[in-house]
A and B are shown apart, each in its own frame.
Chain A
Amino acid sequence: MILKGTNIKKYFPIRKGVFLQTAGYVKALEQVDFELNEHETLGVVGESGCGKTTLGRVITLIYSATKGHLAYTTPDHHTSHIDKTINKHDLKRYRRDMQMVFQDPFSSLDPRMTIGDILREPLDIHQIYPNRNERDEYIEYLLSRVGLYPEYAIRYPHEFSGGQRQRISIARAIALKPRAIVCDEPTSALDVSVQSQIINLLQELKEQERMAYFFISHDLDLVHHISDRIMVMYLGSVMEEGSAYEVFNHASHPYTRVLMKSIPHWDPKQRKLGSVHLKGEPPSPINPPKGCPFNTRCPKAYDRCAREMPTLKRLNNHHSVACWLYTD
């Protein structure tokens, strides 16, 4: 087990008035528990505003969680608690082992630096290769590893296409030989024909470098394709969680079912979008509904749903769901 998150909560204060007092909160993450195991891909799927990107940024310490805590276990089973009080050595170790690939290829590379400098930065910070040519050799290896020509090292980001830039981001992520990479919608800004190239590259790297992925996406088909376990999120909480096979083929939570039905089926003979009947609009995260966040739009909601927030219940040891339809 690499990383364990227990009841993670993240509220962003809304600042108002002349002295910027806090006038309310954007409740991005309400209640999230997860486990990321060795050499496993945990897929996080949900629509915009469900908090999946915020979760990714809490894990990589871009944001610090309002509540709950993260526990990181090193290969030699030494567990350290990741929060403000983390000591410098553990933090540096965590930074090496946990990397991230971002969504927008056009803003995840510093336009003022050459590709070589971009890949050199992580190596210099962690002093991986003290002498120069050994380091440059490694950079050339990284570039060919992600399917780019080593000569690209002297060129600038604006000279590359979206797909090529994403490969550079991936090269930067694997430079420190991390144990896990948080992939925040790595392919949603790319063209269809280029997407599958990047997905294949990620899978190939995962096998050869024995890494774990925390794969975030709004595309359920993609998450099913690449993940070993799937977590479905809605408005800051986990609705359903389990192995990819269980969640995809035995979707139990009404939201997951609607999500499955809403995905266009590439077959003009069986058009199924007509059968989707989901009412209303997603509520705003500033004042989410009481009880289960999905109750305002759930076709099967009943009075208890609007009162109490359901907790994750185990349907079997590969599948659990947070919904009052499944009481013991």
Chain B
Amino acid sequence: MKGNTAVRVRKAFFKHKLGIVGIIILILLYLMILFADFLAPYNYKNTKRDFTFSEPTKIHWRKDDKFVGPFVYGMTRSRDPVTFAVKYVEDQEKVYPVKFFVRGETYKFWGLWETDVHLFGIGQHDDAVLYLFGGDRFGRDLFSRVLIGGRVSLTAGLIGTFIAVVIGAIVGAFSGYFGGWIDVTIQRLIEILRSFPRIPLWLALAMLLPPTWPSTTVYLGIVIVLSFIGWMGVARVIRGMVLSLREKEYVLAAQVIGQSNFKIITKHLIPNTITYLVVVSTLSIPGMILGESSISFLGLGIKEPMTSWGLLLKQAQSLSDIQSHPWLMIPGLFIILAVLSFNFVGDALRDALDPYRAVDKV
């Protein structure tokens, strides 16, 4: 991407308004999960028995019509005599101002050093909490869990795509360049594997991960499972590109001057498909994120105590849950936001990098 092609690409990319919006959202999301521990007011794991399913805490600014700054009332928990449903009533007397850089539960920042500073919060009180997105079944802060869960959802897709693209590019390049029976067998295998429905196949693969594994290895297992299907789409299209590039005269010229096959692939074929690889990766990350969410939603993916957006949604499976606690669906919005941004960026990249539609539009 040297020379003024980089300038042309940057200019074309920024003409694509949606692409810019996508990039900004993605930067914010990845910054969010980078500083998740610091941003989250509570530790995502600890439960609060008397705040189960509490609504998102309302933040008030004016106390008896005087501007006071952000503060929160204490909450008393009572049971509705008729329906026995738990109800939370605001106790006007207890006022807890929302402070910044407040001391909260201790955590290891990036696993490096211990600290307990959180960006914002109301401190430790047993009768008041600052649950921006409300609490879940065990009274854990959904906002903190969304931040920490984002780490899994946004990275699993990324790594899975990376693995899929690397495998797909290599298999596709060799199958396209050498042709013959290698090509036929690879294409037949891909055709068969693609005839399986994606999510059931993912579920079946997810079942291969022994339940005894700790949650981190399960995470890596899920990443491998996700990339298992992704690489075939990449291989199929890279093969198509390499087949057409192989006939291009500058590749023939390289053969005539005595260049080795391996060097031709690495020096000529791969650099000319890099632009495409970038586009296909951005466009296949959404598929991976959706895949991970679906598997975790069904409980076959990420295991407790680790969490991901899909797993968070698992509590909102039945209609009754949603009707009584609609805020449990908020993690879904984050999934849409991330996937949408990746789609915008991928589309803008394709228009900028590959105006002649070598990439089939999807």
The answer to whether A62 touches B252 (Cβ under 8 A) is yes
**B28 contacts the other chain (CB 8 A):** no
Chain A residues contacting B4 (CB-CB under 8 Å) are: 156
Query: Using a CB-CB cutoff of 8 Å, which residues 261-301 of chain B contact chain A?
Result: 267-268, 271-272
| B258 and A109 within 8 A (CB) | no
Task: Say yes or no for A272: interface residue by CB 8 A criterion.
Answer: no
Q: Contact partner of B248 among A57, A99, A107, A125, CB < 8 A?
A: A107
Instruction: Contacts A20-B184, A102-B253 given; indicate if A126 touches B258 (C-beta within 8 A).
Output: yes
A228 on the interface (CB 8 Å rule)? no
- Asked if A96 CB lies within 8 Å of chain B CBs, one says yes
B255 at interface, CB cutoff 8 A: yes
Write the A170-187 contact mask toward B (1 if CB under 8 angstroms, else 0). 001000100000000000
B257-A176 in contact (CB<8A): yes
Report B241-259 CB contacts with A as 1/0, cut-off 8 Å: 0000000111011111111
Majority DSSP secondary structure for residues of B touching A: helix
B262 CB, nearest partner CB in chain A, Å: 13
Given A109-B250, A110-B268, A111-B272, verify A122-B184 contact (CB < 8 Å). no
Partner of A172, one of B2, B5, B252, B257: B257
Closest to B250 in A: A110
Interface flag for B3 (CB, 8 Å): yes
A125 touches B272 (CB 8 A): no
Chain A 92-105 per-residue mask, 1 if CB under 8 angstroms from chain B, else 0: 10011011101110
B139 → A minimal CB distance (Å)? 57
B253 / chain A contacts, CB cutoff of 8 Å: 100, 102, 108, 169, 172
Nearest CB in chain A: distance from B6 CB, A: 11
Contacts of B272 in A (CB 8 A): 110-112
Q: Is the CB of A95 within 8 A of B184?
A: no
A92 and B2 CA atoms in complex are apart in Å by 32
Say whether A74 faces chain B, with CB atoms less than 8 Å apart. no
Q: Is the CB of A156 within 8 A of B3?
A: yes
Within 8 A of B (CB), among A1-47: 19-20
Q: Contact residue range for chain A?
A: 20 to 34
Q: Report the separation of the CA atoms of residues A230 and B323 in the bound assembly, to the nearest whole angstrom.
A: 88
Q: How large is the interface on B (under 10, 10 to 19, 20 to 34, 35 or more residues)?
A: 20 to 34
Q: A204 at the A/B interface (Cβ < 8 Å)?
A: no
Report the Cα distance A109→B252, complex, angstroms: 10
Q: Is the CB of B184 within 8 A of A107?
A: no
| Contact (A121, B250) CB under 8 Å given A112-B272, A156-B5 | no
By a CB distance below 8 angstroms, the chain B residues around A95 are 256-258
Q: Establish whether residues B249 and A114, one from each chain, have CB atoms under 8 Å apart when the complex forms.
A: no
Q: Could you say which residues of chain A place their CB within 8 Å of the CB of B3? A: 114, 155-156
B26 to chain A, nearest CB (A): 27
Report chain B residues within 8 Å CB of A122.
257-258
Partner of B259, one of A60, A102, A125: A125
Is A226 an interface position by the 8 A CB rule? no
Give the distance in Å from the alpha carbon of A91 to the alpha carbon of B5 in the complex: 37
Chain B nearest CB from A28 CB (Å) reads 15
Bound Cα distance A110, B268 (Å): 7
B252 nearest in chain A by CB position: A62
Known: A103-B249, A107-B248. A125 touches B256 (CB 8 A): no
**CB <8 Å contact, B5 and A121:** no
Decide yes or no: A62 and B184 within 8 Å by CB, A102-B249, A109-B250 being known contacts.
Answer: no
Residues of A within 8 A of B184 (CB): 19-20
6 A-B residue pairings within 8 Å (CB atoms):
A96-B258, A103-B249, A107-B249, A108-B250, A109-B250, A126-B258
Query: CB within 8 Å of A: which residues of B?
Result: 2-5, 184, 248-250, 252-259, 267-268, 271-272
Query: What would 5 more interface pairs be, CB under 8 Å, given A20-B184, A112-B271, A126-B258?
Result: A99-B256, A100-B256, A108-B249, A158-B5, A176-B257
